[in-house]
Structure 1
Amino acid sequence: MAAPPDTASPTTPAPPGRRSHTTRNRTLTGLVCGLLVLAVLGYAGLRLHHRLNTIDLPQTNTAPQGGYTLTVYFTPSEAYYHSPQRSIRDQICAGQNLPTSFPTDYLERVALEGFGKTARGDYLGWDFDRHCYFATRTPPVGSHENALVPWKSVAANHLSPGTRIRVTDCGPGVPAEICTRVKSAQWRVDDLCSIGCDDAKHLDLYIGEQTRAAIEDEDFYFVTKGATIQASTPEELR
């Protein structure tokens, strides 16, 4: 659309080397409009980027790869920990209002797993960046603030968020019944592995909230090396 003709009354030409007020105002108006357009386009781009990372995208299957280490992680429950209390007064994140002490072994487990359920029914979280504890009523979330889903969410440091994982061989040491469940699950990369995942071929499988004591003695709490997986990577994230 062509710009309308200028109907303003004539003005005295500006001295050489200076712009007239009319020209300067038009320039400023153009700059403001340009910035607004860029802002709108940038916001639209962010919205599109968010959609591409949150909707189901076309998947590209990769060839099965062996030599993977599989471990599991869970959300500990304070109800199953009874060691002496330890003060966290100096480790509470700024602005938080929560009890100043918890069982020592419970705190150690929360600092390892990332979240724990408290006796009050809310959750105690550990901020790996700031090294402090915080309280939340929201169940455990992954590295992108997405809810962790038992027997579906995977923590990994070498695969894009949203990558789907199928375990085709559990490797040695996993009971047959548990291996069947692992292989039939529809795993998805929802989290980063913060501790003990230096090996690029390491997947940490989330198995949910703790429902019994001595969970480490259960068959579903395992470590296995030599597993084989197949990844389906969203094409837009490749």
Structure 2
Amino acid sequence: MRAIGGVLCLLLAGCGPAGDPGPVPTLIAPTVPFRMPAPSRVVPAPATPAGPSGLPAPSGAVTTSTGWEITVYYTAVEDLHGGDPTTVRGCLRLDCAHGHDDLGSYPSDFVAAVEAEGTGRTGSGRYLNWSYDVGFWLDSAPRDTAGRALRPFVSAAADPGVLARGTRFRIAGCGRVDDGSLPDATVCAALRTAKWQVTDEFTPGLGGRRHIDAYLGEETGGDFTESAWYVTLRDATLRVDQEA
């Protein structure tokens, strides 16, 4: 996969030198029967799709927009985390919010990662999910804020007033990382090749104008947040397509 990414970068502008970003995050989302989410977790999409400026955009409009911040999120893996055992309470079923059932005991670092990223795969294979409006719950898949299964290199989050739920987009240019350098070539190529769709939204206060969060799948090592995959891109370029 890293070799393929390096070749793609020769064809795509905006990538930095090819290095070793570490193992590619898991690309296959769990296949589970879909269940309707609880009403408290459903966030209705605006009646009129919003363009990247936050203003209504005509149906079918394609917009190239610069100046975006792109962050990433992932599914934590319990076996890759340590810390003191921590009892977690929440919901044992999907149609529930702020429950008080005993969901089990997990390493404290894993629990913190789930709260930060929203999802985590436990040692039993179940998923410990967290959302600001629901709290913790156990599930058969990592979920977005509307209760749908997250899809690696497809699902993305944005504030509803910035990009409406359902908006499809491509990353046309990766911009630069925090120190002003170009991002890793393999990571940039993978992000640019993906076809993204806004299916999730930020915890209030964490989003903002021209900010999207791209879902990568499961972390692949205990130092995942130190790898090139856990990146923040500045001044990136999006191609937003309401009907792509």
Partners of 1:127 and 1:229 lie apart in 2 by: 27
CA deviations on 1:142-190 (whole Å, 9 max, x unpaired) are: 2222221101111111211111111111001311221111111101111
* Long gaps (5+) in structure 2: 1-43, 48-57, 92-97, 178-182
Partner AA of 1:75 in structure 2: T
Q: Give the TM-score normalised by structure 2.
A: 0.66
Is the CA contact (8 Å cut-off) linking 2:155 and 2:214 kept in structure 1?
yes
Partners of 1:147 and 1:59 lie apart in 2 by: 26
* Farther off after superposition, 222-231 or 168-177: 168-177
Partner AA of 1:133 in structure 2: F
Shift of 1:97: 4.5
Is the CA contact (8 Å cut-off) linking 1:115 and 1:126 kept in structure 2?
yes
User: Measured at CA, do residues 175 and 59 of structure 1 come closer, stay the same or move farther in structure 2, by a change above 3 Å?
Assistant: farther
SS at match of 2:163: coil
Superposition pairs of residues 81-230 of structure 1, within 5 angstroms: 81-88=81-88, 93-94=98-99, 96-99=101-104, 101-130=105-134, 132-137=135-140, 139-157=141-159, 158-173=162-177, 174-194=183-203, 197-230=206-239
Partners of 2:236 and 2:152 lie apart in 1 by: 20
Partner AA of 1:121 in structure 2: G
Partners of 1:221 and 1:196 lie apart in 2 by: 21
Partners of 1:85 and 1:97 lie apart in 2 by: 13
Match of 1:70 in 2: 70
CA deviations on 1:183-235 (whole Å, 9 max, x unpaired) are: 11101111012166332111100000122211012211101110010111249
Partners of 1:127 and 1:177 lie apart in 2 by: 31
* Farther off after superposition, 203-212 or 192-201: 192-201
Partners of 2:144 and 2:88 lie apart in 1 by: 24
Partners of 2:129 and 2:68 lie apart in 1 by: 29
Partner AA of 1:190 in structure 2: T
CA deviations on 1:1-54 (whole Å, 9 max, x unpaired) are: xxxxxxxxxxxxxxxxxxxxxxxxxxxxxxxxxxxxxxxxxxxxxxxx99x9xx
Partners of 2:193 and 2:131 lie apart in 1 by: 32
Partners of 2:226 and 2:60 lie apart in 1 by: 37
Partners of 1:78 and 1:135 lie apart in 2 by: 14
- Structure with greater proportional helix content: 1
* Long gaps (5+) in structure 1: 1-48, 53-57
Partners of 1:118 and 1:210 lie apart in 2 by: 13
Q: Which has the higher contact order (CA 8 A, sep 6+)?
A: 2
Partners of 2:204 and 2:110 lie apart in 1 by: 17
Is the CA contact (8 Å cut-off) linking 1:160 and 1:233 kept in structure 2?
no
Q: Give the fraction of aligned pairs with identical amino acids, expressed as a percent.
A: 29
Is the CA contact (8 Å cut-off) linking 2:63 and 2:241 kept in structure 1?
no
Partner AA of 2:209 in structure 1: A
CA deviations on 1:83-119 (whole Å, 9 max, x unpaired) are: 1122335x664263421x3211111111111111111
Partner AA of 1:187 in structure 2: W
Is the CA contact (8 Å cut-off) linking 1:76 and 1:110 kept in structure 2?
yes
Q: Give the TM-score normalised by structure 1.
A: 0.67
Partners of 1:197 and 1:133 lie apart in 2 by: 19
